[in-house]
Structure 1
Amino acid sequence: MTTYVLVPGFWLGGWAWRSVADDLRARGHEVHAVTLTGLGDRAHLARPDVDLDVHVTDVLNVLRYEDLTDVVLVGHSYAGAVVVPAVADRAPERVAKLVFVDTGPLPDGTAQCEFDEPDEQAATAELVKAHGDGWRLPPPPWEQLAEEVGFDKDALAALVERSVPQPWATATTPVTLTGVWEKLPRLGILCGFTEEQARAMAAAPMFRHMAGDRWEFAELPTWHWPMFSRPADLAEILHGA
């Protein structure tokens, strides 16, 4: 049996992992799907000062109060870029392996929003200002994005109904890392690019943590949210981890 802690990306709560979590539990694993502050069933706790540090503490508290060890810590998108590495950096004794779902770890001192090009950063900041009261990022147009892939209608309906605005300070807070987390083995699950492309990206300073012999990769061609489009295949890869 393996213990998995699943952390979702922007706009989503622990509910997003339901199909994957059910599959893993049916295989005999222990699964904790985390809902970060201000999202999912904790949407009522959203406020302007909910930042990256709050979300890192959310996950650390799950590890502490559930007394979890030898954890496979899984981060999707934003959670993999900054939350999961920061958690592992602060509590490496509780983590056995890190899994990054269609994402990769950003360097110390980098904010998640810096992943985007300057023009896109400016457009997103304007969206937050105009449609998010200056501190929330609205969810994307899910129906439009889902047209790009074969997508289950019930899953799409859940995305539209349950996703909520992301507290924007979570994207603008730089991640703080000491480097302790880098000793852990890592699996990258690639949905929008190949292993060859991922290893080539490691030459760029922003993606330098994608290099090294502690990495293994699994390709899962689909859109950026495989827990909705290919949940069984995602669970199979995690089971193998």
Structure 2
Amino acid sequence: MLPGIAPSVVGMSTYVLLPGFWLGAWAWRAVAADLRGRGHDVHALSLTGLGERAHLARPDTDLETHVTDVLNLIRYEDLHDVVLVGHSYAGAVVVPSVADRVPERISRLVFIDSGPLPDGMSQSEFAPPAEQEQNAGLVGDGWRLPPPDWAELAADVPGVTKEAVERLVELSVPQPWATATSPVRLTGAWEELPRLHVLCSFDLEQLQARVGSSPAFRHMADDGLAFRELLSWHWPMVNRAAELAAILDEAV
């Protein structure tokens, strides 16, 4: 230990944890607690219209709204050298958008079962045409995408308890659809930042097979990217929180 420095300060990093569709900061609770126990500063954020901010959802809640949420957190909490972590949707479009605007505040990007979409593409366009059509048909009131059948998705997934499924059912809320249809707008400034991809629902070999098949994977074809496999299902913070926290800790 360095003289005059408390143990919790040595090696401390600042994390901002962003959830994907339907989830709020609550989904990160176990991961955040683990990281704080390791001495890190952790900010788990519920994006507008989700989690405890569900009452703020509106038809015009879009990607720009969520990017502003994160930019304001970084600004008003005066955060620097941020490890910006995005799961699913948040990784695909929110993380690169934020990093593109304030790269000087970010030290590393971490994508949880996700990757940055290229400029001009929306989250909804990433899905196959059949899935896009299905999702559009599910949108309630013309602007809200309901959560999936969590029990069906969790069936036979190791470590996903009945209590975890009940919590997902109770706390997940419809996703404002404009967040999925808004195209990401990037200048390329974010591309200079180091990145880590944590693969959960597919392994590295499967990813490499997809990279050349669609422009959506263009930014995951770069040489020198770091990958870690934490194979289970798309929501590792639910059933493998300790292992995910360890990976995030090692990333810095």
| TM-score interval, smaller chain | over 0.9
User: Where does residue 179 of structure 1 map in the other structure?
Assistant: 188
After superposition, residues 66-145 of structure 1 pair within 5 angstroms as 66-128=77-139, 132-145=140-153
| 1:14-48 deviation per Cα after TM superposition (whole angstroms, max 9, x unaligned) | 01000000000000000000100000000000010
Asked if the contact 1:201–1:210 (Cα under 8 Å) also holds between the matched residues in 2, the reply is: no
Alpha-carbon shift at residue 196 of structure 1 (Å)? 2.8
User: Where does residue 191 of structure 1 map in the other structure?
Assistant: 200
User: Where does residue 222 of structure 1 map in the other structure?
Assistant: 232
How far apart, CA to CA, are the structure 1 residues paired with 2:162 and 2:202?
Answer: 25
Asked if the contact 1:113–1:172 (Cα under 8 Å) also holds between the matched residues in 2, the reply is: yes
SS in 2 for 1:21: helix
How far apart, CA to CA, are the structure 2 residues paired with 1:201 and 1:181?
Answer: 23
Alpha-carbon shift at residue 202 of structure 1 (Å)? 2.8
How far apart, CA to CA, are the structure 1 residues paired with 2:83 and 2:37?
Answer: 17
After superposition, residues 9-48 of structure 1 pair within 5 angstroms as 9-48=20-59
Shifted more, 117-126 versus 171-180: the winner is 117-126
Judged with a 3 Å threshold, the aligned counterparts in structure 2 of structure 1 residues 53 and 214 are, in CA distance, closer, same or farther, namely: farther
Alpha-carbon shift at residue 214 of structure 1 (Å)? 4.3
Alpha-carbon shift at residue 127 of structure 1 (Å)? 0.8
Query: In the alignment, residue 133 of structure 2 is paired with which amino acid?
Result: A
Query: In the alignment, residue 78 of structure 2 is paired with which amino acid?
Result: D
Give the fraction of aligned pairs with identical amino acids, expressed as a percent.
Answer: 68
How far apart, CA to CA, are the structure 2 residues paired with 1:158 and 1:89?
Answer: 34
Shifted more, 199-208 versus 57-66: the winner is 199-208
**Between Structure 1 and Structure 2, whose CA radius of gyration is higher?**
2
Alpha-carbon shift at residue 2 of structure 1 (Å)? 0.7
| 1:75-109 deviation per Cα after TM superposition (whole angstroms, max 9, x unaligned) | 00000000000000001000000000001110000
Alpha-carbon shift at residue 157 of structure 1 (Å)? 1.4
SS in 1 for 2:237: helix
TM-score by length of structure 2 reads 0.92
Long gaps (5+) in structure 2? 1-11
SS in 1 for 2:107: strand
SS in 2 for 1:174: coil
Alpha-carbon shift at residue 153 of structure 1 (Å)? 2.2
Shifted more, 151-160 versus 11-20: the winner is 151-160
Judged with a 3 Å threshold, the aligned counterparts in structure 2 of structure 1 residues 214 and 34 are, in CA distance, closer, same or farther, namely: farther
| 1:142-194 deviation per Cα after TM superposition (whole angstroms, max 9, x unaligned) | 01111130212222111110000000000000000000000001000000112
Shifted more, 208-217 versus 36-45: the winner is 208-217
TM-score by length of structure 1 reads 0.97
Alpha-carbon shift at residue 117 of structure 1 (Å)? 1.1
Judged with a 3 Å threshold, the aligned counterparts in structure 2 of structure 1 residues 47 and 165 are, in CA distance, closer, same or farther, namely: same
User: Where does residue 236 of structure 1 map in the other structure?
Assistant: 246
How far apart, CA to CA, are the structure 1 residues paired with 2:218 and 2:210?
Answer: 8
C-alpha root-mean-square deviation of aligned residues, in Å?
0.9
Q: Work out the number of aligned pairs and report it.
A: 238
After superposition, residues 151-170 of structure 1 pair within 5 angstroms as 151-170=160-179
